[in-house]
Amino acid sequence: MPVSMQALADDLAAESADLRVLLAPLPDEDWRRDTPAVGWTIGDQVSHLAHFDDVAVRSATDPDAFRADLARIAAAGGVDPDTIAAGYRDLSGAALLTWFDDARGRLVEVFRGLDPSLRVPWFGPPMSAASSLTARIMETWAHGQDVADTLGVTREPTARLRHVAHIGVGARAFSFAAHGRPVPPEPVRVELAAPGGDTWTWGPPDAADRVTGPALDFCLAVTQRRHRDDVDLAVTGPAATAWVGIAQAFAGAPGTGRARGAHR
């Protein structure tokens, strides 16, 4: 079935709206509350999303300018999310929410009209417009989880978790590369219980190495929002075990993850 940019854009808009429900009532002091991501506040989580929404739009609408920016960033030592977050800490919660609304609205508008197979430059290999939009869904859900955890809110899982899980599975090779390790040659079968009662699958049905469990738990693990020991996943085989221990759905250097028992 062809990828639908309309459906992806709708899912991103819905994920954004769910996050906004958490953010809109917050007094300014709550935007400065520390989240489980060490050194990052709720405001940092939102500025990160808004900043890279703007960057994603630039990569799609002015790829030459984006590549020039990318060359300058690389020459300066590469992307540092902590430095980026620090640059926006003088903004109020209201200003951050307005920025997020505007940046996200522009992103959805621009990408909704793109060919899903269009290649857009990014930090690393270029990716399709569809993959870029899917990555924004994953990022929004993951950073939204940090906000929810900070506020003590339990979010209802939705079918949009399939996007997060799909990126997590697809990033298996990257997870090993980020740690300087070769990818085990054995295939891995992933079978996840979806929120609506379906089963989502990836990999050969007869693979000996397997990861099974609730889709929510898998997504929490591959976005490093929960420690491996704090999610309900059955992991069989050395290749699957090695992967789940370092799984990382997001780009960049290896993440520090969460401490064991922090959210048990």
Domain residues of the chain, as ranges?
A: 5-155, 162-246
Q: How many CB atoms lie within 10 A of CB 256?
A: 9
- Measured CA to CA, the distance from residue 139 to residue 147 in angstroms comes to 12
**Helix H or strand E encompassing 112:** helix 93-112
Do residues 53 and 103 lie in contact, with contact meaning Cβ atoms separated by under 8 Å?
yes
pLDDT tens for each residue of 221-253? 999 999 999 999 999 999 999 999 999 998 888
pLDDT tens for each residue of 114-140? 999 999 999 888 999 999 999 999 999
Q: From the centroid of its chain, how far is CA 101?
A: 18
162-246 falls under which CATH superfamily?
SCP2 sterol-binding domain (3.30.1050.10)
The mean pLDDT of 130-157, rounded to a whole number, is 97
The two three-digit tokens of residue 191, written as one number: 């079978």
Indicate the CATH number for domain 5-155.
1.20.120.450
Do residues 219 and 168 lie in contact, with contact meaning Cβ atoms separated by under 8 Å?
yes
pLDDT, residue 1, reads 57
pLDDT, residue 264, reads 55
What is the largest distance, in Å, between two alpha-carbon atoms of the chain? 54
Name the more confident of 41 and 264.
41
pLDDT, residue 125, reads 87
Do residues 57 and 106 lie in contact, with contact meaning Cβ atoms separated by under 8 Å?
yes
The mean pLDDT of 200-214, rounded to a whole number, is 98
pTM greater than the 0.85 cutoff: yes
- Measured CA to CA, the distance from residue 127 to residue 223 in angstroms comes to 19
Q: Strand 199-202 relative to strand 124-128: parallel, antiparallel, unpaired?
A: unpaired
The mean pLDDT of 176-182, rounded to a whole number, is 95
The two three-digit tokens of residue 90, written as one number: 């003088």
pLDDT at 255 over 90: no
CA pseudo-torsion sign 126, 130, 133, 137:
negative
